[in-house]
Structure 1
Amino acid sequence: MKPSLITVGEPAGIGPDCILRAFSQHPQAFQHCIIVSPANWLEDRARAINIPVQFRVFSSLHEASSYKPGPHELCLWNPVPDHLRGTVTAGVPSTSTSHAVICCIESATRACLADDAQALITGPIEKAILKRQGFQFPGHTEFLAHLSRREHVEKTTDFVMMLASDTLRVALLTTHMAISEVPDALSIEGTLDCIRIVDHDLKQRFGIREPRLGLCGLNPHAGEQGHFGKEEIEILAPAARIAATEGINITEPLPADTLFSANNRKNFDAIICCYHDQALIPIKALSFGDAVNVTLGLPFVRTSVDHGTALDLVGSPDVSSTSLLAAIVMARDMCDTA
């Protein structure tokens, strides 16, 4: 079986804590998993939080994949050149490690694209720190899509950010951008591409034969027939109608303030939202710590935690690894379904 790769994310954040605590509590979840990281990022944190782990460090993925770890051993693949590793101070992110963080993510992604790994599970990154070193992407999702993208892309949208839990799945038409930019970022083509990707991946990755999709309106009361905005009339509804003619089970744009009620959300396998907080507020209110960030539309499985770097919690016993464990399990299940 090909391995799943786990990146630490920001090494000064709780990414290392989550990996170490998850492994110490549920080592069986890490079967066929390889951590992509310089060794000291995890070794130093393991000593600091007093979690005994034996690390087996490899300079190539092939060597790491060929090794059969013991019950208390964690496999690490370190693709980072020595001069890029930087210095890690727990709770204090530094630009000195930015290139190493990016190197780990890119190396793991390219391994998945080369079919040397079956899935990528990512820890949280400190976006502002990476941007200071020239990182041009709003977040993981856009970077992974960029690395996966072929030269000629005919679709307006070729990836979709989705968060999923046992209670709710939400997909985003736009991801990391200012609220003021959202209306201009919406289009019929982009909305239609998103609907198609969600429908396709729910079938192929989640084993849902006939997905039921809800579509959120952008404006209060879904625009109130154009009185509070015309995006529903001019963009969202036309896209939904085209999708329906293709056999996709999608609603017209519906008011977001009632779409997430207990009675309504049980009618959908996923709800497509117009912007970041429209999607993330309800799922984090219902499932924070248990939800998983999934990127749909990629040629490989990618999941991630539903939280940030939590710099103030680094080293604390209050750090929870439940979202990381959920991300590992969901990646495994998606690979088994595909």
Structure 2
Amino acid sequence: MTKPVIAITTGEPAGIGPEISIRGAACCHEMARPVLIGDYTGLKQLASKMDAGIELLKLDMTKWNPDILSEREGSIGVIDSPLLVPAIPGHLDARNGKPVLSFMDIAINGAQTGKFDAVVTAPVQKSTINDAGIPFTGHTEYFAEKTGTKRVVMMLAGLVEKNSLQNNYMLRVALATTHLPLKEVSQSITEESLLETASIVNHELQTRFGIESPHILMTGLNPHAGENGYLGDEEIRVINPAIRKLRSRNINVSGPFPADTLFQPHYLEHADCVIAMYHDQGLPVLKYATFGHGVNITLGLPIIRTSVDHGTALDIASKGLGLASHGSMIEAIRIAAEMALSSKKRKRIVE
């Protein structure tokens, strides 16, 4: 099967995004045909400082021919989207806020029109975009808006490596709510929202990950999953009814489980995803177990989008090249490529 074309937006130019994008792309030729989206001049200068053997190939979106990437094996394609001012590592400049958004727009359009099989995003600095006068809350919300998607689900994933006596397993954690103040979480969890979230997770695990019969675990909201109503009644009023309805729709969901005991290998090794009720209930566990090679995945979009599990690391960028880890970028590209191949395989079967 032809290797998928993966667009990589290079993120905040003053952070580590450009470096890890180049390094990640250079490591992934066996699994994908990488195409960077960013300032070609700056990326070329950066690549020459990193490794003289890295070849960047400027591509023209108006005369799109991804086969050239196969013909020039080992080269990294670049779609040029110039910055307004040269980037200085570690120093933000609001004048580059709009160009960073342009990276995303090119990637989204290219994925929607079939030029790219998936999109991987390097981290952006939200404040730079907002300082440029553009309201921006994050990649997830921006991709949802630009693709006209009503509801998306944030899922992080990473391989948990065990010792020689235990099996490695893929830990996936999806969120019922995302970036909300804790006091707003309870009122935001409804039976309808849980039905939508779990349905999206189940569908994406089937279509994007090739898991025919996913098993999903769902946490409770309260300590001890409410202790039969003594520590809160959201489990009784909302979560249990949602789980019953999901099962009636042949979606294999178990729970609600107390979050403090659910994240153990003997539960997780036999599950395909955990749905946590809020951000800091599920993600601290995943990031502790997989940080440095975890991946952020947006479910529910009409296109495939993955990202690294960390921020722009301006402090690291300011200290020079070679200090930033690109492990998460490699994993983001790998998972995006696998999702793209799985989607194509399923589409052929359906057709």
Normalised to the residue count of structure 1, the TM-score between the two structures is 0.90
Secondary structure of the 1:67 match is: helix
- Sequence identity percentage: 35
Partner of 1:11: 13
Partner of 2:36: 35
- Once residues 128 and 228 of structure 1 are traced to their aligned partners in structure 2, the CA distance between those partners, rounded to angstroms, is 39
Change in Cα spacing, 1:219 to 1:246, as seen in structure 2 (3 Å) is same
Partner of 2:348: none
Partner of 2:297: 294
Partner of 1:188: 191
1:175-213 CA-to-partner distances (Å, cap 9, x unmatched) read 122222222221111111000011111111111111111
- Counterparts of 1:1-338 in structure 2 under 5 Å? 3-24=5-26, 26=27, 28-29=29-30, 31-49=32-50, 52-60=53-61, 62-63=63-64, 65=66, 67-68=68-69, 70-78=72-80, 80=81, 85-149=84-148, 158-166=151-159, 167-314=170-317, 315-338=320-343
- Once residues 283 and 222 of structure 1 are traced to their aligned partners in structure 2, the CA distance between those partners, rounded to angstroms, is 20
Superposition deviation, residue 20 in structure 1: 2.5
- Contact 1:29/1:325 (8 A) holds in 2: no
- Contact 1:64/1:76 (8 A) holds in 2: no
1:66-103 CA-to-partner distances (Å, cap 9, x unmatched) read 5336345321112x3x5x63331101222111100101
| Aligned AA (2:331) | A
Bigger drift between 180-189 and 321-330 goes to 180-189
Secondary structure of the 2:123 match is: coil
Secondary structure of the 2:255 match is: strand
1:248-290 CA-to-partner distances (Å, cap 9, x unmatched) read 1111321100110122222311000111122211111111112
Superposition deviation, residue 162 in structure 1: 0.7
| Aligned AA (2:116) | A
Aligned Cα RMSD in Å?
Answer: 2.1
- Contact 2:306/2:333 (8 A) holds in 1: yes
Bigger drift between 224-233 and 319-328 goes to 224-233
Secondary structure of the 1:147 match is: helix
Secondary structure of the 2:66 match is: helix
Superposition deviation, residue 228 in structure 1: 2.4
| Aligned AA (1:89) | I
- Once residues 33 and 23 of structure 1 are traced to their aligned partners in structure 2, the CA distance between those partners, rounded to angstroms, is 6
Bigger drift between 133-142 and 183-192 goes to 133-142
| Aligned AA (2:16) | I
| Aligned AA (2:152) | F
| Aligned AA (2:61) | S
Secondary structure of the 1:105 match is: helix
Normalised to the residue count of structure 2, the TM-score between the two structures is 0.87
- Once residues 192 and 135 of structure 1 are traced to their aligned partners in structure 2, the CA distance between those partners, rounded to angstroms, is 33
- Once residues 174 and 335 of structure 1 are traced to their aligned partners in structure 2, the CA distance between those partners, rounded to angstroms, is 26
- Contact 2:28/2:34 (8 A) holds in 1: no
- Once residues 265 and 100 of structure 1 are traced to their aligned partners in structure 2, the CA distance between those partners, rounded to angstroms, is 41
Change in Cα spacing, 1:86 to 1:225, as seen in structure 2 (3 Å) is farther
- Once residues 8 and 76 of structure 1 are traced to their aligned partners in structure 2, the CA distance between those partners, rounded to angstroms, is 10
Aligned length: 328
- Once residues 240 and 136 of structure 1 are traced to their aligned partners in structure 2, the CA distance between those partners, rounded to angstroms, is 36
| Aligned AA (2:92) | P
- Once residues 60 and 145 of structure 1 are traced to their aligned partners in structure 2, the CA distance between those partners, rounded to angstroms, is 23
- Once residues 74 and 338 of structure 2 are traced to their aligned partners in structure 1, the CA distance between those partners, rounded to angstroms, is 24
Superposition deviation, residue 51 in structure 1: 5.3
- Once residues 126 and 202 of structure 1 are traced to their aligned partners in structure 2, the CA distance between those partners, rounded to angstroms, is 30
Superposition deviation, residue 49 in structure 1: 4.3
Change in Cα spacing, 1:209 to 1:71, as seen in structure 2 (3 Å) is closer
Q: Which runs of 5+ in 1 are unaligned?
A: none
- Contact 2:118/2:305 (8 A) holds in 1: yes
| Aligned AA (1:67) | I
- Contact 1:21/1:51 (8 A) holds in 2: no
Change in Cα spacing, 1:256 to 1:16, as seen in structure 2 (3 Å) is same
- Once residues 27 and 251 of structure 1 are traced to their aligned partners in structure 2, the CA distance between those partners, rounded to angstroms, is 37
